[in-house]
Amino acid sequence: MISSEQVVQTAKSIATIQQADGGVPWPEGHVDAWNHIECLMAMSVAGLTDEVRQGYAYLLRHQRPDGSWPAKLHDGEPLESNGESNHAAYLAVGVWHELLVTGDEDFAARLWPAVKLALDYVVGLQTDRGEIVWERDARGRASDYALLTGCSSIHQGLRCGVALAERLRDPQPHWELAADRLAHVVRAHPEAFADKSRFSMDWYYPVLGGAVRGPEAFELLHRDWATFVVPGLGIRCVSDQPWVTGAETCELVLALDALGDQGRARALFGDMQHLRHEDGSYWTGWQFANRKHFPHERSGYTAAAVILAADALQGLTAAAGIFRDAAAPAAPATNPDACGCTPARA
């Protein structure tokens, strides 16, 4: 475990890279909405309210009329103009998290129109079967494929949006329906998604995002545990490279915590602490074949994942259970040949 003082130190390492306009960039200098929101959530855990609110003001300034954000922004200008569905969905997670941490319902109410716009953008990309496609391009054309990691994250966004809607007394039942349909596709139709199985995120994200829980989730994690987990170091980012990454390891920690598997969660969290820098920031990854940090950077999103995992394991805030609480309603594993869905595109 890390101490509450170390959590604050790590959050301040994120604040150090926050730009004057409120954006929290990647090491390369661009901002994307998903990682930006994750960093705001982490700073909120540490009580850095001013920085967090500046970050949400940034999102409001750059949200487009359709509810999306450019996939990449640099100095406030789009580097990539496509609008990704999982980026838009994560605003609901961030705003719900901020409400849980601070209890500030007035702030949530101010962000509510942006959340509604963003989640309606997301559900507008849902197919008849239930998966949600990856993006709209700069011309507004929807892509023709969906990603498992993205849809799993979107599932959590929809569940948080439903909770926020109920708290603000403005129910959005179509989001709950969309989440239920999406959870079914994630559980029963792996063929609906582009093959990204070499990435560890496609392995654990269905659990992290809440679509898969219970015995089915334990079975899913057992299936590729030996492929991705490197004892004593963390987990691989991709199955075919000798490279462990801190953010993915901490997300698996969150998934295990959501299942109540505290033993493995705490062990993995301890294993990845070799990436901690003396200033509280975290190296993105470690290439264990040549024993070098790779890439040679310390990323805000890695620090953010560490803080969110620490909160889940140690109960630092009232938002510690935000990943546990994303679970879909209990449902039996479904035979994709008997569920009545239109067969997914190969």
pLDDT digits (tens, 9 = 90+) for 5-42: 999 999 999 999 999 999 999 999 999 999 999 999 99
The CB-side HSE value for 241 (13 A sphere, CA atoms) comes to 14
Q: Supply the pLDDT for residue 344.
A: 44
Q: How far is the CA of 225 from the CAs of 93, 218, 229, in angstroms?
A: 27, 10, 6
* Structure tokens that stand for 123 in this block: 């559900």
Angle value at C-alpha 8, between 293 and 235, nearest 5 degrees = 35
Structure tokens at 338: 């008997």
Give the whole-angstrom CA distance, residue 244 versus residue 234. Answer: 6
Each residue's pLDDT tens digit, 288-340: 999 999 999 999 999 999 999 999 999 999 999 999 999 998 765 555 555 76
The predicted pLDDT at position 346 comes to: 28
DSSP H or E stretch at residue 181:
helix 173-188
> 229: how many CB neighbours lie within 10 A of its CB?
21
For residue 298, give the 3-state DSSP assignment: strand
Residue whose C-alpha is closest to residue 11's, from 220, 279, 274, 235: 279
DSSP designation for 187: H
pLDDT at 168: 98
CB 87 within 8 A of CB 69: yes
Q: Is the pLDDT of residue 174 over 80?
A: yes
Structure tokens at 294: 């790779």
So what's the pLDDT on residue 342? 61
Q: Who contacts 83 (Cβ-Cβ below 8 Å, separation ≥6)?
A: 64, 66, 68, 69, 70, 71, 121, 135, 136
- Could you identify the residue written with the tokens 């640099």? 74
pLDDT at 99: 98
Return d(Cα 316, Cα 211) in angstroms, integer: 25
The letter for the amino acid at 245 is T
C-alpha distances out from residue 199 to 38, 240, 244, 287, 292, Å = 20, 9, 12, 16, 21
pLDDT single digits (tens) 206-252: 999 999 999 999 999 999 999 999 999 999 999 999 999 999 999 99
Tokens representing 31 are 């901002």
φ, ψ at 5 (rounded to 5°): -65, -40
Per-residue pLDDT, averaged over 169-174, amounts to 98
Mean pLDDT, range 254-280, rounded to an integer? 98
Over 70: is that where the pLDDT of 345 sits? no
